[in-house]
């Protein structure tokens, strides 16, 4: 007779491992299935995020920025440097050690919370049975009262630029370069493309970003998007919108890319490395048996309701494999919600207040509605902005690029959205997300006392500017 669990989670990325830990904390007998293997062939948890996504990319972003700062910016602080060199292998080794520490940390959390790790490939069968094929090919079937599908996502491949994992790579391969490419091409000006392009641009690559869409960061507030493009272009990224890639040809250790420009004319560019990062797709390959009872929607995502329940009783799905933005923190909170609902609690998520971040330097962050979305809805609104160039703390740190933008309803004054490009934007936007969760108005933020001198004062001033009351910048006339 097969072992039975209260909860079996398939996938141990930020959605899956959090769901497993929370379920175990609630007294549910829990197992988590993971098929990821490290270089030694041993199973490791963490999924894409910890192994080849969020964490390693941020490690390289920080290392590359420190190199750039030491080489280019410390003179402004009266610090003279010479002979600054980049050791790519050491940078990659540091990144790998961080991965090892964090994935090992999940193993420790599983042990301390009583989660059973099952390494291998998981597949949902009919009747909430889970088939696990381990690394040696042994198949075991487990019974579960509840199954949580958290299989994540994988990079989208495009026919004009097939990945060879050598000259043409996806986001995973871009984390493993052994040397700095002199000419780097990036297909896709989304979050991943801009972050990876920034890493290697700081390290010395001549980076060209080819984006098929006419506008830059089309889903973001366009005032912030335009400011971001201006900043990144000044840093050296050659961002070409309206550039649709039609083909590529690898010749030895370089690749020639053919694309159509905004006028429809064919252009060519040759690179030493090409990163293809045009988005990600939900990963459901071999995840569901034909009779599992779980349906996919028209875009290939697992169909779920607001509580992440699939149409099969007792089967849930969370994270990148379901609707909504592919964000690790969104998946983690879904994991908590589902575990608690299985345990009989009435947890829920406010999907309208999920922050989004691009970890370039400066960072770009947003929460809530863009001005374009508010305008399209017909809601009356006011806008307040504050530039970091007017922040004493930003000046002291030589981090004066960008601005904070707050949008509030013109009648109720309730905050509808906040958009930032600037230093510590990822942390600053969370302050506004908390305020929005509690239904705060722009006036509420304006009445709060913020420490001085801090970057947070930019939030305070933008909130004051909504009503034309900013102190440290000239106010625009109220709408």
**Confidence (pLDDT) at 449:** 98
Name residue 407's beta-bridge partners: 383, 417
396 has a pLDDT exceeding 80: yes
Check whether domain 356-465 has CATH 3.30.390.30, yes or no: yes
Q: What is the pLDDT of residue 213?
A: 97
What contacts 257, CB < 8 A, 6 or more positions away? Answer: 161, 185, 187, 210, 245, 247, 248, 268, 269, 270, 271, 274
CATH of 4-155+281-342, one of 3.40.50.11540, 3.40.50.300, 3.50.50.60, 3.40.50.1780: 3.50.50.60
Q: Can you give the pLDDT at residue 1?
A: 55
- Look at residues 171, 227, 177, 225 and name the one whose alpha carbon lies nearest to residue 204: 177
Longest Cα separation, the chain? 74
What is the sign, positive or negative, of the torsion defined by CA atoms of 119, 121, 124, 126? negative
Residue of 77, 452, 467, 472 marked active site: 452
pLDDT(479) > 60:
no
Using a pLDDT cut of 70, give the percent of the chain over it. 99
Pairing of strands 30-34, 4-10: parallel
Nearest to 387 by CA among 271, 294, 475: 475
- Enter the DSSP assignment of 321: G
pLDDT digits (tens, 9 = 90+) for 95-131: 999 999 999 999 999 999 999 999 999 999 999 999 9
409 belongs to the catalytic site: no
Strand order in the sheet with 168-169: 168-169, 273-276, 183-187, 206-210, 238-240
> Of the candidates 200, 12, 210, which has an alpha carbon nearest to the alpha carbon of residue 116?
12
| pLDDT at res. 476 | 81
CA distance 468 to 462: 9
Cis peptide before 405 (omega within 30 of 0): no
Sign of CA pseudo-dihedral 341, 347, 348, 353: negative
List the one residue out of 366, 420, 423 whose CA is nearest residue 393: 423
Nearest-angstrom CA–CA distance, 11 and 148: 9
Please indicate, yes or no, whether the overall pTM of this predicted structure exceeds 0.85. Answer: yes
> What is the 3-class SS of 88-131, one letter each residue?
HHHHHHHHHHHHHHHHHHHHHHHHHHCCEEEECEEEEEHHHEEE
How far apart (Å, rounded) are the C-alpha atoms in residues 449 and 468? Answer: 18
Q: What is the pLDDT of residue 468?
A: 96
Alpha carbon distance, N-terminus to C-terminus of the chain? 71
Bond from prior residue into 263 cis (ω within 30 degrees of 0): no
Summary mean pLDDT of the chain:
97
pLDDT tens by residue, 173-216: 999 999 999 999 999 999 999 999 999 999 999 999 999 999 99
Average pLDDT over residues 251-256: 98
Structure tokens at 187: 């297909």
pLDDT for 39: 87
Which CATH superfamily groups domain 168-278? FAD/NAD(P)-binding domain (3.50.50.60)
Q: Residues 294, 284: contact at Cβ < 8 Å?
A: no
Domains of the chain, residue spans: 4-155+281-342, 168-278, 356-465
The structure tokens listed for 223 are: 């005032």
10 Å Cβ neighbour count for 152?
28
Residue 439, beta-bridge partner list? none
Secondary structure (3-state) at 169: strand
Instruction: Label residues 33-42 b or e (16+ Cβ within 10 Å = b).
Output: bbbbeeeeee
Q: Do domains 4-155+281-342 and 168-278 have the same CATH topology?
A: yes
Question: What's the rounded Cα separation, in Å, for the pair 115 and 30?
Answer: 5
| 311-319 mean pLDDT | 98
Give residue-wise pLDDT tens across range 429-456.
999 999 999 999 999 999 999 999 999 9
């Amino acid at each position: 007779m097969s072992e039975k669990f209260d909860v079996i989670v398939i996938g141990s990325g930020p959605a899956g491992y959090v769901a497993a830990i929370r379920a175990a904390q609630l007294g549910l007998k829990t197992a988590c299935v993971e098929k990821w293997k490290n270089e030694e062939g041993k199973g490791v948890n963490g999924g894409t995020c910890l192994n080849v996504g969020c964490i390693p990319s941020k490690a390289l972003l920080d290392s590359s920025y420190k190199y750039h700062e030491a080489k280019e910016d410390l003179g402004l602080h009266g610090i003279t440097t010479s002979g600054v060199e980049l050791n790519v292998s050491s940078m990659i080794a540091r990144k790998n050690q961080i991965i090892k520490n964090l994935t090992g940390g999940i193993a420790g959390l599983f042990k301390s919370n009583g989660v059973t790790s099952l390494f291998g490939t998981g597949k949902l069968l009919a009747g909430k049975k889970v088939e696990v094929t381990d690394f040696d090919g042994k198949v075991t079937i487990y019974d579960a009262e509840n199954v949580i599908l958290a299989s994540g996502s994988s990079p989208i491949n495009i026919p004009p630029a097939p990945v060879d994992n050598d000259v043409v790579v996806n986001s995973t391969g871009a984390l493993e370069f052994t040397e700095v490419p002199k000419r780097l091409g990036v297909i896709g000006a989304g979050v991943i493309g801009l972050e990876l392009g920034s890493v290697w641009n700081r390290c010395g690559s001549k980076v060209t970003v080819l984006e098929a869409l006419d506008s830059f960061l089309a889903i973001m507030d366009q005032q912030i998007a335009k400011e971001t493009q201006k900043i990144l272009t000044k840093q050296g990224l050659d961002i070409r919108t309206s550039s649709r890639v039609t083909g590529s040809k690898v010749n030895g250790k370089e690749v020639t890319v053919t694309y159509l420009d905004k006028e429809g004319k064919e252009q060519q560019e040759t690179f030493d490395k090409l990163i293809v990062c045009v988005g990600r797709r939900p990963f459901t390959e071999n995840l569901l048996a034909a009779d599992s009872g779980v349906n996919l929607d028209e875009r290939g995502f697992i169909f779920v309701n607001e509580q992440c329940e699939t149409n099969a009783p007792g089967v849930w799905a969370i994270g990148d494999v379901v609707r909504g933005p592919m964000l690790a923190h969104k998946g983690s909170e879904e994991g908590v919600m589902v575990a608690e609902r299985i345990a009989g609690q009435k947890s829920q998520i406010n999907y309208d207040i999920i922050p989004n971040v691009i970890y370039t330097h400066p960072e770009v962050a947003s929460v809530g509605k863009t001005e374009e979305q508010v305008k399209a809805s017909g809601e009356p609104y006011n806008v307040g902005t504050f530039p970091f160039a007017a922040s004493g703390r930003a000046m002291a740190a030589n981090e004066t690029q960008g601005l904070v933008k707050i949008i509030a309803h013109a009648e109720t004054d309730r905050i509808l959205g906040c958009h930032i490009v600037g230093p510590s934007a990822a942390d600053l936007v969370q302050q506004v997300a908390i305020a929005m969760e509690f239904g705060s108005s722009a006036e509420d933020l304006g009445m709060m006392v913020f420490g001085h001198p801090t970057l947070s004062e930019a939030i305070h001033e933008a909130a004051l500017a909504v009503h034309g009351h900013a102190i440290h910048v000239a106010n625009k006339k109220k709408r």
